[in-house]
Amino acid sequence: MNLDTLTIRHVLLRTQCYFPRSEIVERVGEGQVRRFRYAQLAEEALRLANALKQLGVSEGDRVATLLWNTWPHLVAYLAIPNIGAVIHTLNLRLHPNDLAYIANHAEDKVLIVEESLLPLYEGFRDKAPFQHVIVIGDATKVPGALSYDDLIRTHEPDRSALAEVHWDTPAFLLYTSGTTGRPKGVLYVHAQLALAALALTSTITYYVSKDDSILLSVPMFHVASWALPYAGLVVGAKLVLPGPHPQPVDLLNLLSDEQGTFVAGVPTVWHDAANLVEKYPGRWTFSPRLRLILGGSAAPEALIRRWQSFGVTVIHGWGMSEVLLGLQAHVKLNDFPPEERTQWLLKQGMPCPFVEAKVLTFDGKEAPWDGQTMGELLVRGAWIADSYYRGESPESFVDGWLRTGDVAVIDSEGYVKLVDRIKDVIKSGGEWISTIELENALMSHPAIEEAAVIGVPHERWQERPIAIVVLREGHSVTEEELKEYLRERFVRWWVPDAFVFVDELPKTSTGKLAKATLRERFRDWKWEESK
């Protein structure tokens, strides 16, 4: 048995041989797009591969990218791993100090950066280890930098630079967002990316196919864009790249103009997009085949129902930087009565094929499948990390299982439901309170735009919840009305003791609620302030 076809080399050659006419669309400005074919992608990837090889990039070297979801980034996805090097996608939403740390920790040899992101690069240029900097745009803005366009023009599109990579050759490096400490590296080998891409095409996951028009809205620096670029390329699907600084209106325009059938992202992005759809009815026309995959954090019921009301199929899933593909909720929906299906869709779902999940209680025992017993979610599988780069934080891995840091329950159907992050769950008077469930309930209230619930120290109860909420435009509601709304849905001791009304909530670099920022902001909360 030869597993060495499970490589990105296979993806590159497949695009070139079997799908040369498949289309790639890139947004380059307001209302402006560029159109390419797979044949052009393969050719440019080979040109970049040869250029990097001549610059001295060898097998195992890390080549960093500081790029939006653009055509050159897709080219890099194919070129870099195919010379045996490792593509290291830098998170352009991180602070320059974090980027400097990550680049040095990875020992990056080359940086490919877009001209629009040069101000960010300047913030850590003097601390970075790069031997070569390649600029997409005006390279004269960086002393000693090389022009991407010149490199592509002056190198041939032959296969001489391609390495004989194997299934276990390192291919992709990314770092966690570092919300709980220094960012940690996650290194994926070729086979993990290939298998995840193949899994995405399965009818028991997300059934990506040749007939799809895939909007690559998940940042390509974020867990390999959930492996979607490789999945799309494997089947010859149409790929749509949102380009620099994409806003929700840009995503909606592309979905409508390119008749998108597949898009994914974190709930906060698609919450903002839903607001626009409701504000401008009839402005966008969606394909009847459009599937919206919500992941990264638990999606509120209100958000799922809003997108369903637009005629969009919503798929709830879960993954993380260390997981790629983890859980999905839609697989068995037809097994349940129609009136129950939304409740099942609210859960993160059952594991993908070749992924296993279990919950360990806080005293270290495996939780029963009763839908009630809480504990930490552990996962393992073919494309799930079993260590961090350079062996850091070994405590996060137990006997081949990844400790996710998520609090969850498993029900009798094998469906996992996230209850909270371990660092976010509130222990009050010896009992656990789920902030996620409270937040989702609050966001179902017609007056609430966004909500976050955190625990703050309490002299008697150890911790008590407070809610920080953003009101929808033109709406008002009182603290007591919100308390009564929650009392109808939860036991009284779950209901937050105080509500704080703010204009906006802080977000992390991946678009999730920045709970750590809120806890720091309210750490000196005085309970008399709520009176």
Identify whether 40 is part of a domain.
Answer: yes
Provide the number of structural domains found in the chain: 3
Cα angle value 283/271/264 (rounded, 5°): 90
Q: Are residues 413 and 493 in the same domain?
A: no
Residue 363 has pLDDT above 90, yes or no: no
Q: Tell me the C-alpha distance between 31 and 352, whole Å.
A: 38
Domain ranges, residue 75: 8-23+36-189
Q: Are residues 45 and 87 in the same domain?
A: yes
Identify whether 218 is part of a domain.
Answer: no
**What is the tally of helices (H) and strands (E) in the chain?**
15, 26
Confidence of residue 180 (pLDDT cuts 50, 70, 90): low
Q: Are strands 170-175 and 185-189 parallel, antiparallel or unpaired?
A: antiparallel
Q: Tell me the C-alpha distance between 132 and 142, whole Å.
A: 11
Strand partners for 111? 64, 133
Residue ending a domain, choose from 161, 189, 217: 189
Q: Are residues 97 and 168 in the same domain?
A: yes
From 500, 525, 516, select the one nearest 424 (Cα to Cα): 516
Segment 99-145, tens digit of pLDDT: 999 999 999 999 999 999 999 999 999 999 899 999 999 999 999 99
| Alpha-carbon torsion, ordered 244, 248, 252, 254, to 10 deg | 0
Per-residue pLDDT, 365: 93
Burial class (CB in 10 A: 0-12, 13-18, 19+), 354: middle
Segment 336-353, tens digit of pLDDT: 998 888 889 989 999 999
Q: Are residues 406 and 457 in the same domain?
A: no
Between the two ends of the chain, the Cα-to-Cα distance in Å is 70
Q: Are residues 372 and 432 in the same domain?
A: no
Q: Are residues 55 and 181 in the same domain?
A: yes
Confidence of residue 530 (pLDDT cuts 50, 70, 90): very low
Average pLDDT, integer, range 9-26: 96
Q: Are residues 446 and 387 in the same domain?
A: no
**CATH number of the domain that residue 409 is part of:** 2.30.38.10
In this structure, the number of other CB atoms found within 10 A of the CB of residue 264 comes to 24
Q: Are residues 374 and 504 in the same domain?
A: no
Confidence of residue 531 (pLDDT cuts 50, 70, 90): very low
**CATH number of the domain that residue 171 is part of:** 3.40.50.12780
Q: Are residues 358 and 492 in the same domain?
A: no
* Beta-strand runs (E) in 411-447: 416-421, 426-428, 431-433
Answer positive or negative: Cα dihedral of 66, 187, 197, 413. Answer: negative
Cβ atoms of 73 and 90 closer than 8 Å = no
**CATH number of the domain that residue 476 is part of:** 3.30.300.30
Q: Tell me the C-alpha distance between 144 and 167, whole Å.
A: 36
Alpha-carbon distances, residue 130 vs 47, 111, 125, 134, 210 (angstroms): 21, 6, 9, 10, 39
Identify whether 299 is part of a domain.
Answer: no
Residue 495 has pLDDT above 50, yes or no: yes
Identify whether 408 is part of a domain.
Answer: yes
From 408, 524, 406, select the one nearest 466 (Cα to Cα): 524
Residue 248 has pLDDT above 60, yes or no: yes
Longest Cα pair distance anywhere in the chain, in angstroms? 73
DSSP one-letter string for 65-124? EE--BSHHHHHHHHHTGGGT-EEEE--TTS-HHHHHHHHHHHTEEEEEEEGGGHHHHHTT
Q: Are residues 367 and 463 in the same domain?
A: no
Q: Are residues 142 and 67 in the same domain?
A: yes
Identify whether 341 is part of a domain.
Answer: no
**425 vs 88: which has the higher pLDDT:** 88
Identify whether 30 is part of a domain.
Answer: no
Identify whether 321 is part of a domain.
Answer: no
In whole angstroms, what separates CA 309 from the centre of its chain? Answer: 24
Ordered alpha helix ranges (H), 248-389: 248-257, 267-279, 301-309, 341-345
Give me the active site residues, please: 176, 322, 427, 432
Average pLDDT, integer, range 20-39: 95
Q: Mean pLDDT lowest for which of 74-78, 296-300, 441-445?
A: 296-300
Per-residue pLDDT, 144: 94
3-state SS class at 55: coil
Identify whether 247 is part of a domain.
Answer: no
447-464 b/e (C-beta count within 10 Å ≥ 16 → b): bbbbbbbbbbebeebebb
From 67, 88, 102, select the one nearest 172 (Cα to Cα): 88
Cβ atoms of 300 and 439 closer than 8 Å = yes
Segment 433-448, tens digit of pLDDT: 888 889 989 999 999 9
Residue ending a domain, choose from 189, 221, 246: 189
Segment 150-175, tens digit of pLDDT: 999 999 999 999 999 999 999 999 99
From 275, 191, 185, 187, select the one nearest 472 (Cα to Cα): 275
Q: Are strands 291-294 and 262-265 parallel, antiparallel or unpaired?
A: parallel
Query: What percentage of residues in the chain have a pLDDT greater than 90?
Result: 71
Q: Tell me the C-alpha distance between 17 and 165, whole Å.
A: 19
**DSSP class of residue 383?**
T
Give the mean pLDDT of the chain: 92
3-state SS class at 336: coil
Cβ atoms of 51 and 135 closer than 8 Å = no
Q: Are residues 511 and 415 in the same domain?
A: no
Residue ending a domain, choose from 421, 453, 473: 421
Residue 228 has pLDDT above 60, yes or no: yes
Average pLDDT, integer, range 61-71: 98
